[in-house]
Amino acid sequence: MEDNRIGRRTVLRTAGALAAATAVTGCGTLMGTGDSRGSSGGGKKRLVVSNSGGTYNDALTKAIYEPFTKETGITVTTVNYQSAQIIAQVKQGRPQVDLLDNTLLNFQKMARLECLEPVDHDRLKNVKGAGIAEHNLPEHAVGKNVWCSLMAYRTDSLKRVPKNWADFWNTDAFSGPRSLQSAEVDLPELEFALLADGVPLDKLYPLDVNRAFASMSRIRGGVKKFWNTGALPAVLLGRKEVVATSLWGGRADELIKQGMPVAYQWNGARRMTNGWGIPKGAGNTDPAYKLIDFSLRPEVQAAFAKLFPHGPVVSGAIKLLADDVLATLPTSPQNLKIGFDADAAWWDKNRDAVTKRWQEWADA
């Protein structure tokens, strides 16, 4: 399953900017058939970028691709590939794209399979002094925007605000049906189970899988649905079929805008990062580096965050955003300190085994 949350059809916040979201799979990256979707404009040079499409691509086009083309004359054409397709292209020595937009977790896998070029971070002037976290600058990628999985709940159904995952797990004090994510759609939510069981944020990894599944078993009877599409948890909340759920950040925004009594709890949010990677053997690296560097300018990072609820990786962008926008972003100062970053290396190593065990647990 392609991860991120980037192809998620989250509602864009800027008035009149872009169309409202439609449901798709996954915090899913690089999805589709590989058909070209369009270009950011004219120019003698051409850069082919693969991303997950939808409103994510619309926001990228408005905030990054079009301004980049206007400044450099380099046309950005976007396509839509599964990562497996790109891996096959690289193995055949014929990568069909110049630059990839994907999760750092998927890039971890692609690097392990020797399908990515190492990134020369010294070629990126906007990385220097930008305050980008070290884990967002791995050898084979460059992080650019952060999304998260977190809790949402109905304020009219709960007498008290759930403050953490321990409260979510406490079905006596916070009564009502819950929903949690299925491993069919994204990473199993073992971290939430461990936080509910008292593990501190900074002691999560390596994950204690046995303890996590024991914790999951304790709440299983209170879970009405293990959701398997990104749109479903917000639907369940909106219909009042559940009082609380895990979901991808931004998925409940439309409910909140409609005045429904729904709120987020950022405490214990699991962050993941989307970024740039260059396929091994790609022959158009100079324009690729130019686009990467352009996307890391504080003003460009801020422009994208205003259109799509992913947090900037560049600290200077935070200063350019209003408080109401910052409140919705996983990398805002107030939200950053109470969430955690998923360990991409751990998940790359253990994902298949954990997913298999989750499926066995769910079927038992």
- Determine the pLDDT at residue 36: 45
Q: What is the pLDDT of residues 65-78, one digit of tens each?
A: 999 999 999 999 99
The identity of residue 28, as a single letter, is G
pLDDT exceeds 50 at position 166: yes
CA distances from 289 to 65, 151, 221, 295 (A): 13, 36, 50, 10
For 250-259, the pLDDT digits (tens) are: 999 999 999 9
Q: Are strands 223-227 and 178-181 parallel, antiparallel or unpaired?
A: parallel
Whether 143 has a pLDDT exceeding 80, the answer reads: yes
| Model confidence pLDDT, tens digit, residues 272-322 | 999 999 999 998 999 999 999 999 999 999 999 999 999 999 999 999 999
pLDDT at 340 > cutoff 50: yes
Mean pLDDT of 43-59: 88
pLDDT at 173 over 90: yes
Residue 2 has a pLDDT of: 53
Q: What is the mean pLDDT of the chain?
A: 89
Residues 46/78, Cβ–Cβ less than 8 Å: no
For 7, which DSSP code?
G
Q: Give the span between the Cα atoms of 29 and 4, in whole angstroms.
A: 5
Give whole-number Cα distances, 41 to 34, 59, 61, 278, in Å: 20, 15, 10, 22
The 10s digit of each residue's pLDDT in 1-44 is: 354 443 333 444 433 333 333 322 233 333 333 444 444 544 45
pLDDT for residue 42: 42
Q: What's the pLDDT at 40?
A: 53
